[in-house]
Amino acid sequence: MRLLWGAIGILAVVLAFAGTVLPIMPTVPFLIVAAFAFNRSSPRFHDMLMTHPVFGPQIRDWQEHRAIDPRVKVIVCVSMAVGLCVSWFILPHPYWAVQVAVLSAVAVFIVTRANPPTHP
């Protein structure tokens, strides 16, 4: 079972890496899946994710509080808007309308998540 969870974790990290360079792919949700999988297969990789200086706090905020930092919410929504603007010129308009609907639902989900507690 550890091999299966390890494979899922590696796949999730690969998809998260793609998300760092592609505006249509998320990054942190895949890292959350990777952390979940590595927690069951590799404590070393799990610790690497949880202590990562950029992504570790975001993963912990989600796991502990189901919360997204307000700054991250803004970055995500702006990134999705930029991606929509670019795809206006690339996608046929019926597909673009589907993308608008999906990204709008994602934006509503993100914006309505709680903010993490502030630390003194």
- Residue 84, both tokens: 């929509």
Question: pTM of the prediction?
Answer: 0.80
Rounded mean pLDDT, 86-90: 92
Q: Where are the domains of the chain?
A: 2-65, 70-111
Measured distance CA(24)–CA(95) in Å, rounded: 14
Residue 52, SS3 per DSSP:
coil
Q: At what angle do helices 55-65 and 43-50 cross, to 10 degrees?
A: 100
In the prediction, which pLDDT does 120 show? 56
Mean pLDDT of the chain: 92
pLDDT band at 5; cut points 50, 70, 90: very high
Q: Is the pLDDT of residue 15 over 80?
A: yes
